[in-house]
Structure 1
Amino acid sequence: MIKLISKTALLSVFVAFSMMKSQSVKEILNQEGSFRKDTIFSIKSDSKETYLPVTIIKGKEKGSVFTIVAGIHGYEYPPIVAVQELLNEIRPENIKGSLIIIPIANVESFQKRTPFINPLDGKNLNTAFPGSSNGTPTDQIAHLITKEIIPNSTIFLDIHGGDASEDLLPFVCYYNRKDIPENTKKAHDLSLKSGIQYVVSYSYTLTPTEPAKYAFKEATQQGITALSIEAGKLGTVQKDNVDLIKTAVYNMLENSGNSVKRKSKMVNQKSIVLLNQQDYIRVPEDGIFYSELKSGDKVKKNQILGYITDKFGNKKHDIVSQTNGIILYKVGTPPVNKGETLFCIGYNE
């Protein structure tokens, strides 16, 4: 006789995989044999419940642990769809070492189609790290990834894209942590081997006690080789960006030694463009944004990039570039709010 179990009952069962059980991922990784295991970590805060799905794929041979995370922002669809396809394609027999895969880190944002924030608590998971074990759902998800996933990783890859309002140029990026040059070099090399044309390095100035805010910056702070892919835009699924992400992941897995079977290769790759500085232009005032530029466009210092009007169509501000560079991402929809990033322009110093 088949007994149906309600969603509520399932969530109560998932409490057994509580985030407080700090060694569960490590215990799975230490199990013998080659396997795939799908696991649910339950998260409860007051009357609000959610969960974090995690897949662990272990190969026959020992090796490094490569972690892949998608869906920290649930409205960034190309990374999520790409990782769904990877889950269906990757087999344990083709892996050396292990993979930890979080297919959707922010399940509630994904299911409720909510840009940037978790609708359970209104917080942005991408600014919540290292999180808290007794905070809101977003705090607890960040804490779980910080304590359970990152320390068990050799390489940590966080995949993002352009959210509902963001027009974004695909790029791969890492933090230039100079006191651990071997990790920075590994992240740099994996970026170059990804097949993605634009490679961005960010400065790293965190002290050991400062909150990292971002997932792959938290991994960098913990001394893990960490990097991020950005591909996709405006809250839609583009097949070319899904394919680009998958190809980049397969290239990285091959070059990290975690893949024993070549899946795909980038052909006719354009010359790599390295960008080591970023200029962030913020929205000066709420309003309506107009610009004919798009991500990937080159801009010059003192160039007018667009303008902002009030609700009556009166021009309030010209937006002017402070540097020569290339638009990595920009607001791609009319409404803008004071303080938001309007443009991110990458350049070399």
Structure 2
Amino acid sequence: MRFFFTGLIMLFASQVMIAQNLDLSIDQLNPGISDYTIQLSDKNEKSTLPIRVIKGQNKGPVFTIVAGVHGYEYPPIIAVQQLMNEIDYKKLRGTLVILPIANTAAFSGRSVFYNPIDGKNLNTTFPGKQNGTITEQIAYQITNKIIPISDVFLDIHAGDANEDLISFICFYNAENFPKQTAEAKRLSELGGFENVVSYPYTLKQSEPALYAFKQAVQDGKVALSIESGKLGKVQDEAVKEIKNSVYLMLNNLTIYKKEKLVQPSIINNFTKQSYIKTDVKGFFYSDLKAGDKVIEGQTIGYVTDFFGNKIRDIKSNSSGIILYKIGTPPVNPNETIFCIASNN
């Protein structure tokens, strides 16, 4: 069944549409607010994908905002909830496409990383499958319905329940898309964060993107991501930081004007990341926190068995700043326990 957006949308009212499949025809929308829910089902399992579309009075770009790819990352979800109810469509140029909670089952089930319905991580599932599991269907809908209509694609994350991190904004250095990469870099550097991270991009067109905003990069869109908040908690400063960043981008693109925004100076421009994993299961200990500086070869933590006997020292494989780390005691083989960022 195909649904096209037609009909009058009244001020402060939301048109609610429910569908198993959705074609977003922005040009056919009247200015205003529309709420849509995609119904997902796989055998006996069901879930939903909520979408809000805010179309402005004047023509302009389509700016897409996604939160809740991981349902336990609360600051982005709260920030986007607030943002989408603050925007006055009469002052908007262009269209905002907002996915306030991409993974509703993980959010409702308080599940870290994984969708409790099918045990899959949405952020390693792109481009998804039309008739796959619930998580694969979400990825498919975003890949095929949301990304194609987007001019800018912003994926907002935080530290999940086990992650300590410093706030940063990031983009992929995709040399095969120079214009899009230059714009993603520009928006990142104007996005109100002191830390800007550029990731290498070596993905071939035939390879699965896995990650949400990497899929948008692969599809030739201006794409970037925010990380703010940590340890599965709602930090008010992270919520404010996310909102400030989104408004700065909208301001800069002349999509929406907002006064009294904060534009701090960039302190770190990270271009290199080193990942540290362990091959054992047990208790993880470290006196260091995200943002601390380390040097190559430094002992930065250790792992004990379940009786408290030390079984592994963790040493840094590079010099730089801890971008994020495991912030809770459990550790498992092949988990990333530290990411060390540097600019050389």
TM-score range (shorter-chain normalised) is over 0.9
Other-structure match for 1:8: none
Match of 2:323 among 324, 328, 346: 328
Please identify runs of 4+ aligned residues in structure 1 that moved more than 6 A: none
Shift of 1:61: 1.1
- 2:283 counterpart of 1:288: yes
Pair 83,263 (structure 1): closer, same or farther in 2 beyond 3 Å: farther
Amino acid across the alignment from 1:174: F
- 2:268 counterpart of 1:266: no
Shift of 1:32: 4.6
Amino acid across the alignment from 2:189: L
Match of 1:222 among 197, 219, 224: 219
Pair 263,115 (structure 1): closer, same or farther in 2 beyond 3 Å: farther
Shift of 1:33: 3.2
Give, in whole Å, the separation in 1 of the partners of 2:319 and 2:234.
31
SS at match of 2:338: strand
Shift of 1:343: 0.3
Amino acid across the alignment from 1:207: K
Question: What do residues 4-40 of structure 1 show as CA deviations (whole Å, max 9, x unaligned)?
Answer: xxxxxxxxxx995123x4xx21x2x112531110110
Match of 2:79 among 78, 82, 91: 82
Other-structure match for 1:184: 181
SS at match of 2:28: coil
1:231-270 equivalences under 5 Å are 231-259=228-256, 261-267=257-263, 269-270=264-265
Shift of 1:180: 1.3
SS at match of 2:232: coil
Other-structure match for 2:158: 161
Shift of 1:283: 2.1
- Percent identity of paired positions between Structure 1 and Structure 2: 51
Aligned residues of 2:18 and 2:36 also touching (Cα < 8 A): no
Give, in whole Å, the separation in 2 of the partners of 1:151 and 1:223.
9
Structure 2 residue runs of 5 or longer lacking an equivalent are: 1-15
1:93-112 equivalences under 5 Å are 93-112=90-109
Greater helix proportion: 1
Pair 264,31 (structure 1): closer, same or farther in 2 beyond 3 Å: farther
Give, in whole Å, the separation in 2 of the partners of 1:331 and 1:241.
19
Give, in whole Å, the separation in 2 of the partners of 1:88 and 1:231.
20
Structure 1 residue runs of 5 or longer lacking an equivalent are: 1-13
Other-structure match for 1:5: none
Other-structure match for 1:151: 148
Q: How many residues align?
A: 329
Give, in whole Å, the separation in 1 of the partners of 2:150 and 2:338.
33
Other-structure match for 2:192: 195
- 2:337 counterpart of 1:342: yes
Shift of 1:270: 3.8
Question: What do residues 231-285 of structure 1 show as CA deviations (whole Å, max 9, x unaligned)?
Answer: 11000000000000000000011112211x2244115x24431001100101221
Normalising by structure 2, what TM-score?
Answer: 0.93
SS at match of 2:241: helix
Pair 308,32 (structure 1): closer, same or farther in 2 beyond 3 Å: closer
Normalising by structure 1, what TM-score?
Answer: 0.92
Question: What do residues 125-159 of structure 1 show as CA deviations (whole Å, max 9, x unaligned)?
Answer: 01000000010000000000000000000000000
Shift of 1:119: 0.5
1:35-184 equivalences under 5 Å are 35-184=32-181
Give, in whole Å, the separation in 2 of the partners of 1:217 and 1:159.
13
1:12-51 equivalences under 5 Å are 17-19=19-21, 21=22, 24-25=23-24, 27=25, 29-51=26-48
SS at match of 1:118: coil
Give, in whole Å, the separation in 1 of the partners of 2:272 and 2:145.
32
- 2:306 counterpart of 1:306: no
SS at match of 1:250: helix
Aligned residues of 2:189 and 2:266 also touching (Cα < 8 A): no
Give, in whole Å, the separation in 2 of the partners of 1:197 and 1:151.
31
Amino acid across the alignment from 2:336: T
Aligned residues of 2:47 and 2:105 also touching (Cα < 8 A): yes
